[in-house]
Chain A
Amino acid sequence: AQKITQTQPGMFVQEKEAVTLDCTYDTSDPSYGLFWYKQPSSGEMIFLIYQGSYDQQNATEGRYSLNFQKARKSANLVISASQLGDSAMYFCAMREGGSARQLTFGSGTQLTVLP
């Protein structure tokens, strides 16, 4: 079974609008962490935001926020006020367990911001 599911292969958004990128996850471990990464066409992976399974509040980092719905096992990324430079591939990832283990990545969502 897929541990991380991103159902939107591609998304378009108008500049200055907000956009939500979906991510659902599957784990039986009560302790886990959820991450979002951005990958521009240059290929590097840029860490955006993190949400721990025990965190009470949704994580925010500047224009990025994570809509964490634990019961639904979803961790959607919300980008407010989209910019042209936000056009990139976005990956959701999960780390399971209390110890630092490797990340499992979703298949990604290609976001295109339109002028």
Chain B
Amino acid sequence: EADIYQTPRYLVIGTGKKITLECSQTMGHDKMYWYQQDPGMELHLIHYSYGVNSTEKGDLSSESTVSRIRTEHFPLTLESARPSHTSQYLCASSEAGTGGDGQYFGPGTRLTVT
């Protein structure tokens, strides 16, 4: 059973607000990821981290930022939310090794910007 948590699960917020989506994992995984997913569509990687103080942008350009000050915590921040940010955001983590270690996903945050 994977222990990766995301809060909030659902968020409806007005345009221009600053928001932070929380992601925490208790498995001690070095690698963490943020994906954006529109309903019924594929996942797009927007940020990843290979360890503390390491963050990289993913394949999909995003106006969000991330930080990795602690191994277990990988928050995502939008400084000024816009309707185009409405989507589901999925956080994942994996061990640093290779092979069949799949990524473990959190339950996701469904964001709606009005």
A residues with CB within 8 A of B: 33, 35, 37, 42-47, 50, 52, 89, 91, 98-100, 102-108, 110
B contact residues, range:
20 to 34
In the bound complex, residues from chain B placing their C-beta under 8 Å from that of A91 are: 42-43
In the bound complex, residues from chain A placing their C-beta under 8 Å from that of B33 are: 102
Tell me the interface secondary structure of chain B in the complex: loop
- Residue B76 CB within 8 A of the other chain: no
- For the complex of A and B, the 6 pairs showing the least CB-CB separation, nearest first, are A45-B105, A50-B100, A47-B102, A43-B108, A105-B43, A107-B42
A100, B108: Cβ atoms closer than 8 Å? no
Contact of B102 among A50, A98, A106, A108 (CB under 8 A): A50
B residues with CB within 8 A of A: 31, 33, 35, 40-45, 48, 58-59, 88, 90, 92, 94-108, 110
B58, A45: Cβ atoms closer than 8 Å? no
Distance to closest chain B CB from A5 (angstroms): 11
In the bound complex, residues from chain B placing their C-beta under 8 Å from that of A50 are: 99-100, 102
Contact of A100 among B40, B41, B96 (CB under 8 A): B96
Q: Name the residue of chain A whose CB is nearest to the CB of B96.
A: A100
From known contacts A35-B102, A44-B105, A45-B92, infer whether A102 and B45 are also in contact, taking CB-CB under 8 Å.
Answer: yes
